[in-house]
Amino acid sequence: MAVDKLVEEYKRTHPKSGELHERAVKVFAADGTTHRVRIRSPYGPYITHAKGSKKWDVDGNEYIDYVMGHGSLILGHSHPVIVKAVQEQMAKGVHYGDNHELEVEWAELIQSVMPSAERVEFFACGQEANLIAIRLARIFSGRRKILRFVLNYHGWADELVLEPSTPGIVADEVKWIPYDLDRVEEELATGEYAILMTEGGGARMSGQIPLDFDFVRALPVLAHKYGTVWLLDEVVTGFRDTPGGFQSLVGVKPDLTSLGKCVAGGLGAGVLVGRADIMEVLSPKTPKNRQVIRTGTWNANPLTCAAGVAALKLYQDGEPQRKASELAAYLREKGNQVFKEKGIGGWLYGRSITHVYLGPFDFKPDETMPPTKDVDKIMRLETKVRLSHHLIQRGVSTMSARMFILSCVHTIEDIDQTIKALGDSLDAMIAEGTIS
């Protein structure tokens, strides 16, 4: 059977990864993996090293990488400037347990590109920034409830997960609603909401379900009308398409913005930035009954700060973002030709994170599609997972073929090779009957 052929071929070319997978399933409960997206059938490759746009596995297979550190590596793998900064800092100490200049410099650099960042707070990861945002908003507004959009992801903590039906969560104060301004107003008008959370770019990784810019512009207006704090989650979009993030593309000034991924040049960090009057509750001068106590072992550790400072300096002139965007546009143009030539209902859309639509068109595709109401079609995963298996066997690594995450160090040759792999994968899928 064709399906087995692909799996058999994969096993033949990935024997050492297979051995590691056998060891891994005895330690990691999630089919031997450490993250949901790394679960693959029969198993994913085990990577030994990465450089620029490429990574290599234990069996010597080479991949053009479009996972790019889950979107944190717009500068590519092991950018020499980041490597130097981290190596130098490593020798000077990774954790002083005290204040240091790099944290100030990193915060100032963030402020220099993001005008909404009146104050800056560092954390260990993006979801921590979102969690503290909820607490700050609750104190600021004197309310408890959280308003969110369906299929927006803000982390794995109870209030931040993708779906209300997630087993094990307690999220009684959270309401998930569709992208509908009337619904937003109806909920906000109850006067019960502390915070309105919105994923930058749209639901999932910078807009798998793209957001209409006018819709985004209406959100702070409505939030302020009803006394709710508006948070824009730019963990993915921060520094990605412009130095100033999705907010500068749209022309909005959120009350609070969460950042992560690219902010630390590939090291782990989260940042919350925003209005000084909301962040004021972190001050020890605030009365105890309104004061938020600020802790966290890894906040602004010097190693991460060194990488963050080096990265921000590279982001400032917008050159990495411009290159990544140009390369992504080339990928979309060529990829969409392939879908058309093969008569497949497929479309690539987005920005430097380019999303994949697979399914029948009952709308006219363009650069900003699909229409946000077509959530189910966009999210349809089965065919994409199959495509991702074909792509990985042809040296192209993606997150379940849901998207291609570009960096500024991908090359035209990488993309031409990717387009060839896409065409060959689609041919193979047509032949085996998994796409039509």
CA angle 207, 211, 216 (to 5 degrees): 130
Q: Which of residues 52-71 bind ligand PLP (CB under 6 A)?
A: 70
Q: Are 277 and 257 in contact (CB under 8 A)?
A: no
Assess 153 for contact with ligand PLP (CB under 6 A): yes
CA dist 286 and 278 (Å) reads 12
Tokens 């931040």 identify what position?
160
Reading phi first (left if > 0) and then psi (alpha if -120 to 50, else beta), residue 155 is in left
Minimum CB separation of residue 127 from ligand PLP in Å reads 3
**Nearest 10 degrees: Cα torsion 184, 186, 192, 197:** 0
Minimum CB separation of residue 242 from ligand PLP in Å reads 17
Assess 257 for contact with ligand PLP (CB under 6 A): no
Q: Are 236 and 67 in contact (CB under 8 A)?
A: no
Minimum CB separation of residue 336 from ligand PLP in Å reads 25
The residue whose Cβ lies closest to ligand PLP is 126
Looking at 55, 148, 154, 332, which residue binds ligand PLP (CB under 6 A)? 154
Minimum CB separation of residue 71 from ligand PLP in Å reads 7
The 10 Å CB-count burial string (b at 16+, else e) for 386-396 is bbbbbbbbbeb
Using the minimum distance from each CB to ligand PLP, give the nearer residue, 103 or 159. Answer: 159
Using the minimum distance from each CB to ligand PLP, give the nearer residue, 44 or 260. Answer: 260
Assess 236 for contact with ligand PLP (CB under 6 A): yes
According to DSSP, the β-strands at 209-210 and 202-203 are: antiparallel
CA dist 295 and 298 (Å) reads 9
Binding mask 261-280 for ligand PLP (x = CB under 6 A): ---------x----------
CA dist 395 and 424 (Å) reads 12
Stretch near ligand PLP under the rule CB under 6 A, chosen from 58-66, 103-111, 147-155, 243-251 = 147-155
Minimum CB separation of residue 70 from ligand PLP in Å reads 6
Binding mask 182-201 for ligand PLP (x = CB under 6 A): -----------------x--
CA dist 316 and 81 (Å) reads 14
How many of the chain's residues bind ligand PLP (CB under 6 A)? 15
Assess 233 for contact with ligand PLP (CB under 6 A): yes
Residues that bind ligand PLP (CB under 6 A): 70, 125-127, 130, 153-155, 199, 205, 233, 235-236, 260, 270
